Amino acid sequence: MSKVSEPIRVAHIMGKMMSGGVESVVMNYYRHIDKTRVQFDFIIDEDSTIVPHEEIKRLGGRIHKVPPYQKPVSYHKALVKLFRENNYRIVHSHINTLSIFPLFAAKRAGVPVRIAHSHSTAGKGETARNVLKYTLRPFSRIFPTHFCACSEHAGRWLFGNKLYSRGNVTLVKNAIDLSKFMFDSQIREDVKTELSVKDKLVIGHVGRFMKQKNHSFLIDIFEQVHLRNPDSVLLLVGEGELEQEITEKVKRLGLDNCVKFLGVRNDVHRLLQAMDIFLLPSLYEGLGMVAIEAQAVGLKVVASNMVPKEAKITENFSYISLSQPAEKWSKNILSPASNDRKSGIKQVTDAGFEIGVEAKILLLFYERETVS
């Protein structure tokens, strides 16, 4: 009797797991990939705050905690030891310019397939972080054997135009389980009732409270919307280091009765049903997965011009320059739109964001590269 082969075990470098967009992408792929052929291990910083331990364990994955990269010597030693002990054939790093550190360790440990994955870019307002990004970016091509990105914009930003134009960067789309995002009027009514926002214009945003997501300007926009439509409310989903600052700004502007801080949620697909407009004024994005989800459920999306062009899938999506004042944004948000909520599932599927299809593509990529 022939022995059943073990699945390829891929070490995913996650950095700090804090319920961010990258974690959502990797977990979506993990849930839908054929785990008899590929298994995921999650390498996370020991100061991670939100880790789906039970789900990962149930799916057959393992979690390894290592010192944070801010402790470079102990971080490097721990990774080299971990990679050697587990004899990984693939290390897939999701920490953008910081991937230089785990992939150097992977090379030292003799890992044959070392993937650098670009999920983001850089933008104004994050001086210290940008200094580090631009310092490390020229070295992003040294230790990987393979290059991946969530969008052309993210791929060109990290790996350069020449490498991207030669076809050396594989696009791994931020695919989603579209079955969760089919518009359902009953769910919409249920959630609106739960949140006490019936008969309100519901504007929503999903994202960590960090500089990149531009929450302060988002509140400025909503203030202008609320002046023109007092029956409007804002739903903010997420948490982060700037949450207290934004909470104080909302109170200072007298908006605390119409801005709801919902924290980290595992039912974002339900919350999107209750919204009328999705707002994404980011300073930069690798793609903007939440905008894809919002379009799938049929929402009008208003995004900054720093969100990549690949994020626009339906005609219900509009860009506005961040140089425009909040008043101009509010006019776009309140511009007349069809009252008919139309699902964007077909367009999102046609654009290649169905996780069932994309997970099979990633599976074949892993298998192909481990035998080549």
pLDDT number for residue 96: 95
How many contiguous H segments (helices) and E segments (strands) does the chain have?
A: 15, 13
**Rounded Cα–Cα distance for residues 258 and 324 (Å):** 24
Whole-prediction pTM value?
A: 0.90
> Checking DSSP bridges between strand 38-45 and strand 300-304, what pairing results, if any?
unpaired
Average pLDDT per 10 consecutive residues for the chain, totaling 372 residues: 74 93 95 98 95 97 96 97 98 97 98 96 77 91 97 96 97 94 95 96 96 97 97 96 97 97 95 97 94 96 95 95 97 76 90 96 96 72
pLDDT number for residue 178: 94
Burial 15-37 (b: 16+ CB within 10 A, else e): bbbbbbbbbbbbbbbbebbeeee
**Rounded Cα–Cα distance for residues 173 and 289 (Å):** 9
**Rounded Cα–Cα distance for residues 62 and 55 (Å):** 10
